[in-house]
Amino acid sequence: MVHIIENPPIPLATPIYEGMKAHSSVEIHGDVFQGPQGGFTVEFPTKNGVALHISVRMGLYGQNVIVFNHLDHGRWHREEHHHNNIVFGRPFCMKIHNEHRKYSVRLISVVFSGRFLK
């Protein structure tokens, strides 16, 4: 089942009907613009916590990282910090794939250069 949301209001909270099944994916396409929030967050909540928490930090408090974590029965686990290659004002694509017991996340920062024919 494909569920497409185009140009949503921000912040956006939307359910994933029937849950996120094994071997399914979510793609997020967007642009990040400077603002007081200093980044954005993606979360997959469950009845027992948060299955996946992604915090994209765009230089807030000197951190230009992407942080991964999860909340299980009221307890946050250890944060994983990774390089953030998202750039203000440039499009990006984040692909989140459910591999049954873990998630894989692929981030593509889209940069176009060169000559384009008219």
d(CA 71, CA 7): 29
- Cβ atoms within 10 Å of 77's Cβ, excluding its own: 12
Structural contact between residues 39 and 60, judged by C-beta atoms closer than 8 angstroms? yes
Pairing of strands 80-83, 75-76: unpaired
Give the fold, CATH level 3, of 25-109.
Answer: Jelly Rolls (2.60.120)
Which residues of the chain, if any, have pLDDT below 70? 1, 60-61, 110-118
d(CA 104, CA 52): 10
pLDDT at 118: 44
- Angle CA 116–7–39, to nearest 5: 90
pLDDT at 96: 93
pLDDT at 111: 57
Helices (H) and strands (E) in the chain, counts: 0, 8
